[in-house]
């Protein structure tokens, strides 16, 4: 006995929906993210991702999508770091989403600039760019207060100056190669401009 035509149609139409649901990533598990932060990340980034060593980024309040991209880039080798590759390689895609959501849920703490003279130049570059070098204003992508734009551009406000300076220098030298846009921008900046920009960003909020 053949099944009714209506049943066949209903079953067929349901297939794409079921397939789409099976391809939808599971929601981040904040409890699992917290456990991973303790087991894997906390030694360098602190338990809540706030103000640890200036050599390591502050990741509290960072956009989860950006953190997932960076972890994926470390795991694949697109972003070079032997230390981070070792840690990221232990994480599944679901683990990355969970730990990123955990750190992203944490509140940020204000940073501070150290050099008032450098801060003036840094503010000029961040807000207005460097016209004669065709460097666009950082605020255009990272927002005037450094909050960034989810998925595309990271939160910068309050980030360690040492870390920002190191990353801009790495983009400029080609050591960090997971953003063509940043490599192009950093490649047009001098050491003095990079230091000033990093110092300004540290106090931005």
In the chain, the number of structural domains is 2
46: containing domain: 30-104
Whether residue 92 is predicted with pLDDT greater than 50 in this model: the reply is: yes
pTM for the full model? 0.85
On whether residue 21 sits in a domain, the answer given is no
From residue 57, alpha-carbon distances to 29, 128, 156, 196 in Å are: 23, 25, 10, 18
On whether residue 136 sits in a domain, the answer given is yes
On whether residue 6 sits in a domain, the answer given is no
On whether residue 9 sits in a domain, the answer given is no
Which of 76, 104, 132 finishes a domain? 104
Predicted pLDDT at 4: 55
pLDDT digits (tens, 9 = 90+) for 169-184: 999 999 999 999 999 9
Bridge partner residues of 130 (DSSP): 135
pLDDT digits (tens, 9 = 90+) for 51-88: 889 999 999 999 999 999 999 999 999 999 999 999 99
- Dist. CA 138–CA 122, nearest whole Å: 10
pLDDT digits (tens, 9 = 90+) for 10-31: 444 455 544 444 567 779 999 9
139, 90: one domain: no
120, 198: one domain: yes
Predicted pLDDT at 8: 42
63, 134: one domain: no
On whether residue 7 sits in a domain, the answer given is no
């Amino acid at each position: 006995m053949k099944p009714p035509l209506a049943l066949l149609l209903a079953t067929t139409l349901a297939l794409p929906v079921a397939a789409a649901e099976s391809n939808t990533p599971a929601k981040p598990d904040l409890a699992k993210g917290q456990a991973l932060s303790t087991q894997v990340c906390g030694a360098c980034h602190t338990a809540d991702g706030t103000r640890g060593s200036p050599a390591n980024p502050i990741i509290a309040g960072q956009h989860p999508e950006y953190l997932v991209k960076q972890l994926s880039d470390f795991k694949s080798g697109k972003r070079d770091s032997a230390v981070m590759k070792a840690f990221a390689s232990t994480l599944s895609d679901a683990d990355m989403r969970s730990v990123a959501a955990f750190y992203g849920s944490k509140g940020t703490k204000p940073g501070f600039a150290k050099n008032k003279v450098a801060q003036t130049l840094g503010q000029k570059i961040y807000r207005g760019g460097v016209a004669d070098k065709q460097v666009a204003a950082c605020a255009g992508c990272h927002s005037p207060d450094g909050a960034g734009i989810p998925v595309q551009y990271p939160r910068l406000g309050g980030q360690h100056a040492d870390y920002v300076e190191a990353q801009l220098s790495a983009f400029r030298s080609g050591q960090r190669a997971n953003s063509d846009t940043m490599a192009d921008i950093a490649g047009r900046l001098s050491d003095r401009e990079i230091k000033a920009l990093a110092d300004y960003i540290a106090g931005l909020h």
